[in-house]
Amino acid sequence: MTVDTRQSAEFLHGLGYLYCRGGNRDRGLVFLLLATRIAPEDTGILRTLATVFLETGAADRALSAIERISEIEGEDTADLQLLKSRALWLNGENARAHLTFLDCLKNRAAA
């Protein structure tokens, strides 16, 4: 990835984040999705995207982004488990959400 491409992805990420925080989630999602097209391996962009998907009620899409992050990083960190727990809960998978949340708490206590 060239420097210009990387900077473009960072710019779109920032713009998407700002639009989402400013209340215009639809436009923010467009910018975040464009950023993931440019930098599909950037876990920072994917984390922001997963969070916005959760805020908009798109639990399945959030879970897809979370799984992608997990593939890239090779492990489930406590913050990723917390996101996954929220997505599972929103998706109606309360038992799995509870177990994932307990794993998150164990990882935080161990850290």
The architecture that CATH gives domain 3-110 is Alpha Horseshoe (1.25)
H helix count then E strand count, the chain: 6, 0
pLDDT at 76 (0 to 100)? 80
Tokens 């998706």: give the residue: 91
pLDDT one-digit tens code per residue, 64-102: 999 999 999 988 888 999 999 999 999 999 999 999 999
Nearest-10 crossing angle of helices 43-55, 3-21: 20
**Please, which residues have CB within 8 angstroms of residue 23's CB and are 6 or more apart in sequence?**
none
CA angle 86, 87, 92 (to 5 degrees): 100
Residues 6+ apart with CB under 8 A from 63: 84, 87, 88, 91
Domain residue limits, the chain: 3-110
Q: Give the pLDDT of residue 63.
A: 96
How does pLDDT run across 20-60, given as a tens digit for each residue? Answer: 999 999 999 999 999 999 999 999 999 999 999 999 999 99
